[in-house]
Amino acid sequence: MDINDIKELLQAYFDAGFASDGEGMAKVFHDGSHLYGRNEERELIFWDKDTFVKIVDTPVPEFPRFDEILSIDFTGDHTAVARVKVRVGDTLYTDILGLMILDGKWGIIAKVFTGVPVS
């Protein structure tokens, strides 16, 4: 297990999100992955990978870039959890990313997110 492999994956995640690059985002998520959050009405958001990639592929107005790795914890030989912060538009998200090695490469298998407005 090499933490640098995970840091590279997270950097690709940040770069794809900032660039509204759906194809790049698709590369960091494993097939079958899911994302969970809550909308403004506090209802469950439940997206599959393809839905999220389409959302990422929609350009957003220019905004200052901010992304940060808060923690990376290995939970097994082929699993890890990363906690990150990333700004998209006027929202600062905290993401909990479940990571797995599948087919010999690290990828995101699950994402739980919450966001707060930034000024």
Per-residue pLDDT of the chain (119 residues; tens, 9 = 90+): 689 999 999 999 999 999 999 999 999 999 999 999 998 899 999 999 999 999 999 988 999 999 999 999 999 999 999 999 999 999 999 999 999 999 999 999 999 999 999 97
Query: Please, which residues bridge with residue 77 across strands?
Result: none
pTM value > 0.85: yes
Q: Return d(Cα 40, Cα 60) in angstroms, integer.
A: 18
Q: How does pLDDT run across 14-47, given as a tens digit for each residue?
A: 999 999 999 999 999 999 999 999 988 999 999 9
Q: Return d(Cα 35, Cα 102) in angstroms, integer.
A: 18
Name the average pLDDT for the chain.
Answer: 95
**For residue 31, what is the domain's CATH number?**
3.10.450.50
Q: How many domains does the chain have?
A: 1
**Contact between residue 107 and residue 9 where contact means Cβ atoms under 8 Å apart:** yes
Residue 18, domain extent = 3-117
User: CA-CA distances (angstroms) from residue 4 to 1, 11, 30, 84, 119?
Assistant: 9, 10, 19, 15, 33
pLDDT at residue 1, rounded to an integer: 67
